[in-house]
Structure 1
């Protein structure tokens, strides 16, 4: 039997400088309902999330529809790109993807963020073996996690992600079996 982890990139949020409490936008709430509808047909054993509000809000409908609580895991929070706001976000993100050990002032390198995300994944794989688990997370950390298992998931892949987006990663123990996108515009 396999462990299936449904990585859910959060829906659109209203920008604020408060990363932890940034809420979904009106469009984001509507799209979170689509995530709930999509995952209703799946057998879900647990729902986990980054502690950031937008990630929790994206998966809480799924938790309710399956009679589960959302459990928070710090390891799935978005990577810290830089202290404060980057003057040119696109250039800043491209630079960290080009050099996995580079970090901006006060930020995490890709390697450091990836190691944090993988630590979280290994915890989930150990604690929820042979179960189906939804994980509310963020685009950059999600792709860094996926990149650990398959280098095809990199900067270009990150740029084309939808918001929200859902990918099912399957494992036998800690061995990666494969990845499938299950999000579609409903």
Structure 2
């Protein structure tokens, strides 16, 4: 925590918050209970984001639904359903149409919770949400859980650029 590029005279409160969060996460890691970090971080930072913004930019995590801890899947399942990101069930899911990525959910939640009406979002996101026949179908509805239509202005294909050196993922910017 001492190696953070912060200026103690100007950033003393920030240093204290970051160091406390780091120590808490490190303790959880050492105790082997790191599967609850998402909820801890959500709760720790929720008061900072109790408003909407004109612009939201980010690079949400790219993790397949199947790779998420079971308790996290259960906790977030209502959000997936609320935003219509699970259009398939039964045999379609078994045949691969249900391969979801957490970046899909993060994108919709960011738009729903943090973006002002008329605001703009820019996210680095896996290209599969735009190209896969089944898994991205719910994402490509471009409607929030409330039914509000999302206007996508542009999607950039970053595959040839390969923004993440050494990674085999297929990147796009929405």
Same fold at TM > 0.5: no
Higher helix share: 2
TM value normalised by structure 1? 0.28
TM value normalised by structure 2? 0.30
Q: Which has the higher contact order (CA 8 A, sep 6+)?
A: 1
Higher strand share: 1
